[in-house]
A and B are shown apart, each in its own frame.
Chain A
Amino acid sequence: MNAPSRHKWATAGFHLGAGGLSLLWLLPILLVLVTSVRSFDDIAANGLGGLPHSFTLSGFGQAWSDGGQQRALINSLLVTVPCVLVTLALASMAAFALSRYAMPLRRTLLLVMLGGNLLPPQILLIPVNKLTELTGLFDSLTALVLVQIGFGLGFYVFVLHGFMRAIPAEIQQAAVIDGASPVQVFWRIILPLTRPALAALCALSFTWVFNDLLWAITVLRSDAKMPITAALIGLQGQYVSMWNVIAAGSVIAAAPTVIVFLRFQRHFVAGLNLGAVK
């Protein structure tokens, strides 16, 4: 066999293997999409694994309004958006101080903060639950936002510190000579230069906070305040075996992070690598 045709076979083999694998991976997602637009009667008659015989969006309607997914989605966004913004603001401030100034004990502080994030959350659940009761924050979205900020900080400080450390000192020195205050240096120089890392962490932390279940069910009690992950479990209990509604609920719960992923794919993947390999 000559070289070009062997190359062609290798390419075909690659696409066959990788394509098959991708199809296998996407199959569960496709199945849920199909199930979410089937009618209940169709599923009851033909089985969950059977071929679809109907098309209706009523499952979405039921999950959205009767199932409380609309409220849950709003709750999730009310928690996620402030949480991501505040965490990144606080983390970049700490990373700036620790990476650009000769703070005493800066290395120890950095590692202590990272260590806090590496702790298994289970050790914190009971005390945090009691702490929110003690401060009167139990069963409020504020509590969830605060807990998520506190627990996430260490990791973001560590990543941003690594990133800011690589910015040449001369840039900052020049600004200081021109009379810039530390806040101006932070806001005008260091933050803009850290934008790639901030974008990456933003995409990453959005999905982490949005997808969280454990903290939500630790500090919240009322159904009306639950974020979308916890509400999805509730939906499963409420609509037992009504798979069109449950599937529609899953689609609603997954949509925001999938949108973020598709829109910011590059940043997202960069974020994972920043967090791990750096």
Chain B
Amino acid sequence: MNAPFESTSADVIVVGGGPAGVAAAMELRRRGIARVLLLDREPELGGATRHCAHSPFGMREFSRVYLGAAYGRRLAAEATRAGVELRTGYSVVRLESGGRLEVASPAGVGTLSARRILIATGARETPRSARLIPGDRPLGIVTTGTLQSYVAFHGLMPFRRPLIVGSELVSQSALFTCLTHGARPVAMIEPGPHALARAPFAWFPRLMGVPFHVGADITDIRGAARVEEVTIRLADGSPRTLACDGVLLTGRFTPESALFRQSTLGVDPGSAGPAIDQDGRSQDPLVFAGGNLLRAVETGGWAFREGRAVGRALAEDLARGSEANAPTPVDFETPIKLVVPSLLRAGANAAPAFPDFQLRMARAASGRLSLEIDGREVWARAGTWWPERRILVPIPPGATRAGSVRFRFREGQ
């Protein structure tokens, strides 16, 4: 059972018990931070990995391969062993200034405070509504995360013959979940001109006997209670109506950044996550962030390593006193979609939590990508860049003291 609210405050409260939050909390303990409180609104730790009853988690961090749910249990065991105080069923409802959080728990509502807050609330897939998909709104239109929780937590299925939308890595796992649990997708479509995942993806659905169309869009969904048929427009403009009982929307991850969006801190328009500096520190120097919340989406292992790095930076920050210097924003040009970190702050941390800028493109583009610091080009590379693929650019030494930092893009060079 969860303990009710205590009046004493913690050194650090970590919000979110996925790989990033747990790794951060353990690292903080390892570096001697006395009271580290980890909150998660779900009944178990593990975050998004809990749903994934299939994939290899934990190879890097625990040198062992776990299925999703077991990985979550391993995280909980490791965190407890490390002396992290765990509170599940605790939902943070508001991020306030001064290191304070409004929290709902089965025991009621209260305020928790700490010297620093670290937020690692992960990411989720964009629902049908936010994709502005046309048609009726019957049952059976869900995301991969939802499908996986039907299967993994409740032994249920939301449909038998869905149309799958998307071609990210997670789309492949969505297809796999369908095929292994009694659903037979009628087709898979990708609105963009190419599959978003790497090469083998293009032939994986076809290998499984599921037609795969790129450049195809939903133009209508019909169904009174449940999906009955979906009309798609193929790349050549021709319509096709498919009888099916569901639509599975995959990918198009977006940070679960409501706490920031609803606070005075807001979110970064590119990443839709909080703006952070090279140590994971937000505009509010008492609040840090890490994991998929920063830039949906990376793998579980990446989130774990990132959480650990932000935990280390936070521990150094606590030891040294808060870094309240005004940050320099990182500018970028289209078609660059996002840059993380999007702030740089002059600071004393020997090694930053983020050694590299992480960039993504909004669309496929060929051209020359370059980084200018105080008007001087310090890095450049030409090539073809794919959407939703990670691009890493090392943060040059000294950049944290720059007056202007800007990514440029010259198309076709």
A and B form one complex: no
Binding site for A on B (CB under 8 A): none
